[in-house]
Structure formats: C-alpha cells, structure tokens
C-alpha cells in the first residue's frame, strides 16, 4: 500500500448502518484507511450470517464525557479518556467543561486540544463550553468567543444552570450562535445531602432520598424557559442530558409533540441498572422488581460507593421508562456521562463518595445486554449511539453528515463480536477511572477494532 492508513477486510459480518436505516449480512473493505467498499450480501451468500456474531457499525458518538484534564489528571487525562473511548467503540466524544479551571474561555480549550493532539489518538474530541464563568452560575461566560473557538454547545454540567434568568440569556445567546444548551436538570434545594433515589430501597438502607421531583421540576423549568425564548429566537435549542425518571421523559415527550426543539439523552446505567444494586442485587433493570430482599436477589455487599451517581440509579419503572423513551424516539441518544474518579474520592463510605461511573468502556456491553434481553432492537441501539447524538450536534463533527458506513470516506467504525463476552477488570480498562459497579461482570460484545478518521484507534490484543 502506498499510504500509511490501515487495511482491513471483514467478510460475512452483520453490518448496521443507521444512516441508511439498514442492517444485514455484508462485507467491508478498508484500504489505506479509506472505507472502499460496503457490500450487502443476500441469497446464498448471506447464509449463516446473523446479528449475533461479528457486527460492523459506525464509530459511536458520546455527547457527555468528563476527561478531568486540566486539573484532576489522577482521575483521567485527555489521552487516557480518548483511549477509553476507542476501547468502547467511540470515535467522537464531547468533553464537559467542569475541569479545573473550567472550560469557560478559549485558552482552556486550546490546552485540551493540545493534549488531544499530543495523545496521538485519532478519536475526535469535541468540547462543550461552560454557560457561566467558572461554572459559578452568576455571570454568563463569553459564549461568542467560545463558539468562535469551536465548542459544540454550552453546559454547566456537574451542576444545573442554577439561575433561571441566566439560563434564559444563555438559551438566547447560544441559539443566536446556532448551538444547544446542554442541561443537567436538577433542583438542588431538593437534593442537598441526598444519597440515593427516594424510594423503597433508600428507605430500607437508611440513605437520604433523592426525589424524582428534583429532576422533573428542573426539566419543566427548562422547557418553559425554552418556549419563552423561542418567541424571539426560533433557533434556540435545549438538550437535556442524563434524564432518569419516567416523569422527566414524559415532559420531553409532550414538549416534542408540541414541536419544541428539545432533545435528550439517557445513560446506559440508568436504563439497565436500578437502585436495587445499592442493596447488593446485580440483576438488570428489566429483571428487577424493586424489592431485591423478598426476591432473594442479593448477591453482593450493599452500599458499593461505585453506584453513587448523579442523578441516582432509579427504580425499575424509571429504567423501563428510559428504554421506552429510546424506543419511541423521545430520547435521541445514549450518552455515557463517563465520570472517572480516583480511589481516594470513590472508595469511601457510600454517602461520602463523589458521584459518577466510569462508563465509556462498558456502555456497549450494557446496551447489548438490553438488546440480548429483547428490550431494544440492535438497529435502534446503534442509532442512539451514532446518528442520534450526531443530529444533536447538528453536523459539528469532522464526520458531519456522514455518520454511517460511507464508501469513499475515511473509515470511522467499530467492529465487535456479540458472541464474545469479556470480563470487566480494573487492569483491562484504559480509563484511569476504575470506578464502575460492573467490575468482575461479564458483558456481551467485545470490541475487536475501532477505526477513527481512517486510523487505528483500538485493536483487541488477540484480534
């Protein structure tokens, strides 16, 4: 070969191309980093090729990751975060601005970009800028300067945009810039000191309850303000991230039905895990009842601090609502909210642990568990990891409109084997954040190869 890109030929695999709304038996050929041919097989050629084996899909897009650089490189660096992304099949990630200092001015973005460049990773790093200066919630950041520097949206994530009036201004300014506000919906006066979803499990465990109303009030507020701003600025857009309750998703469902430009995502952990896990159960949400004690479902110690997350793991009905929202299009995307932490911050008493799950590398396995259980069609799952989040980004990715298996474009894809299970171990995670409740569990769908921008981002050791 003349160039320096990789060659790859995958024969008789299951291709999933959500951009074309198509899946089926096929073959791909990558030459020198370019996806030269995508061939769909039929008739006898397709015999024996099913969706349960090797799958080829476009590289995944994650709207919500925390990379911790600058400021907390012990928990994650840009380089380790991009390696984790590649291991998880993600080729585009959006970094949240809650670093130290916050990404509230172009200089911080330049530093993050330099770190991405120095890492050598071909995974695309996009940045979400802060809404308020220092994420302090008091003064609007220089949104125009951040937009000029290339951020793809604005958020004070880690926290909500506390002031309704700042949110109103931000939706208007960001709308004028053609960018979304990405909102972490939480009414903090209801969650101060809260530890776990307000419900039966928290009551039995003696943990302070985190009410659904805290999220739903914030979602209602945000949608109301959006409706107001739209009268002056029809380009205003709101994206609600990591929604976790049936009520929140219902508010979005109704807002969408009236034509409001609101989008949302759900996380793998909120659709597949429940608060039962804090009690020590380890069954998937669709097998859960909400009372793991009377079901004899306890298999681990209670109060595992790796389960502390914001918003908290909810009851089985809420997890089912996350899946239903994906199925009917209320949820546009699956986003990981990858939140790596050091052991010092995480291996402590449940109520003292910081919030967050290291999620980039387990997202595919968790989502495939839902697919395996018949709760989510494979094509819809891949859409929610690719074209769904890409549409929220509105083309602000180097892949622009081509998040699909596009012949002639630089290869940007993931190859995984649904028939192979792999065990999650601390050493096996590329992320510095080993804080996941899935350690020791076997997940379906081992990633074999990830190609990004025509280059190798990840190859499994024995692939």
Closer Cβ to Zn ion, 38 or 185, answer by number: 185
SS (H, E, C) 41-83: CCHHHHCCCCCCCEEEEECEEEEEECCCCCCCCCCCCHHHHHH
Tell me the C-alpha distance between 175 and 294, whole Å.
51
Q: Residue 337 catalytic?
A: yes
Binding string, residues 246-275; x marks residues near Zn ion by CB under 5 A: ------------------------------
Closer Cβ to Zn ion, 184 or 269, answer by number: 184
Binding segment for Zn ion (CB under 5 A), chosen from 17-25, 150-158, 259-267, 324-332, is 150-158
Tell me the C-alpha distance between 247 and 330, whole Å.
12
Q: Which distant-in-sequence residues (6+ apart) come within 8 Å of 393 by Cβ?
A: 61, 63, 94, 126, 152, 153
Quote the least distance from Cβ 158 to Zn ion, whole Å.
6
Closer Cβ to Zn ion, 184 or 341, answer by number: 184
Q: Which of 318, 332, 337, 417 is catalytic?
A: 337
Tell me the two tokens of residue 58: 């476009």
Closer Cβ to Zn ion, 132 or 387, answer by number: 132
* Residue whose tokens read 């791909």: 28
User: 132, 158 in Cβ contact below 8 A?
Assistant: no
Quote the least distance from Cβ 96 to Zn ion, whole Å.
7
Residue from 184, 237, 375, 455 in contact with Zn ion (CB under 5 A) = 184
Binding segment for Zn ion (CB under 5 A), chosen from 156-164, 253-261, 277-285, 418-426, is 156-164
17 part of the interface to Zn ion, by CB under 5 A? no
User: 176, 235 in Cβ contact below 8 A?
Assistant: yes
Tell me the C-alpha distance between 338 and 430, whole Å.
13
Q: How many chain residues touch Zn ion (CB under 5 A)? A: 2
H helix intervals, 120-240 = 143-149, 164-176, 200-205, 212-230
Residue from 62, 157, 222, 383 in contact with Zn ion (CB under 5 A) = 157
Buried b (16+ CB within 10 A) or exposed e, 226-246: beebbeeeeebbbbbbbbbbb
Binding segment for Zn ion (CB under 5 A), chosen from 177-185, 407-415, 436-444, 447-455, is 177-185
Instruction: Give catalytic residues, as residue numbers.
Output: 337
């Amino acid at each position: 070969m003349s160039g320096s890109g990789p060659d790859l030929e995958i024969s008789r695999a299951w291709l999933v191309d959500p951009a074309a709304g198509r899946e089926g038996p096929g073959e791909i050929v990558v030459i020198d980093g370019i996806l030269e041919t995508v061939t769909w097989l039929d008739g006898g050629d397709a015999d024996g090729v099913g969706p349960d084996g090797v799958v080829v899909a476009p590289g995944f897009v994650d709207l919500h990751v925390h990379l911790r650089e600058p400021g907390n490189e012990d928990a994650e660096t840009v380089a380790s975060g991009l390696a984790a992304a590649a291991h998880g099949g993600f080729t585009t990630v959006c970094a949240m601005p809650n670093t130290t200092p916050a990404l509230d001015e172009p200089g911080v973005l330049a530093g993050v970009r330099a770190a991405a460049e120095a890492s050598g990773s071909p995974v695309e790093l996009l940045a979400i800028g802060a809404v308020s200066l220092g994420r302090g919630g008091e003064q609007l950041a220089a949104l125009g300067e951040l937009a000029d520097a290339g951020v793809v949206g604005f958020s004070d994530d880690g926290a909500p945009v506390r002031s309704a009036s700042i949110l109103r201004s931000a939706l208007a300014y960001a709308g004028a810039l053609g960018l979304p506000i990405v909102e972490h919906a939480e009414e903090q006066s209801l969650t101060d000191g809260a530890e776990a979803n307000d419900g039966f499990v928290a009551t039995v465990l003696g943990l302070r309850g985190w009410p659904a109303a805290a999220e739903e009030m914030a979602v209602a507020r945000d949608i109301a303000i959006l409706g107001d701003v739209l009268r002056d600025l029809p380009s205003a857009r709101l994206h609600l991230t990591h929604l976790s309750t049936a009520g929140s998703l219902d508010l979005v469902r109704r807002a969408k039905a009236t034509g409001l430009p609101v989008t949302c995502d759900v996380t793998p952990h909120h659709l597949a895990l429940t608060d039962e896990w804090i009690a020590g159960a380890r069954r998937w949400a669709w097998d859960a009842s909400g009372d793991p004690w009377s079901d004899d479902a306890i298999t681990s110690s209670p109060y595992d601090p790796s389960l502390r997350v914001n918003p908290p793991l909810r009851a089985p009905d809420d997890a089912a609502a996350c899946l239903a929202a994906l199925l009917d299009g209320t949820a546009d995307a699956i986003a990981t909210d990858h939140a790596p932490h050091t052991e010092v911050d995480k291996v402590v008493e449940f109520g003292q642990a910081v919030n967050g799950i290291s999620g980039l590398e387990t997202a595919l396995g968790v989502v495939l568990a839902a697919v395996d259980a018949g709760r989510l069609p494979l094509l819809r799952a891949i859409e929610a990891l690719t074209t769904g989040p890409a549409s929220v980004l509105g083309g602000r990715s180097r892949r622009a409109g081509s998040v699909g298996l596009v012949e002639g474009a630089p290869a940007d894809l993931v190859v995984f084997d649904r028939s192979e299970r792999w065990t999650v171990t601390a050493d096996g995670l590329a992320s510095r954040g080993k804080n996941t409740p899935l350690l020791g569990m076997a997940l379906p769908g081992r990633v074999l190869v990830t190609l990004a921008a025509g280059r190798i981002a990840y190859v499994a050791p024995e692939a």
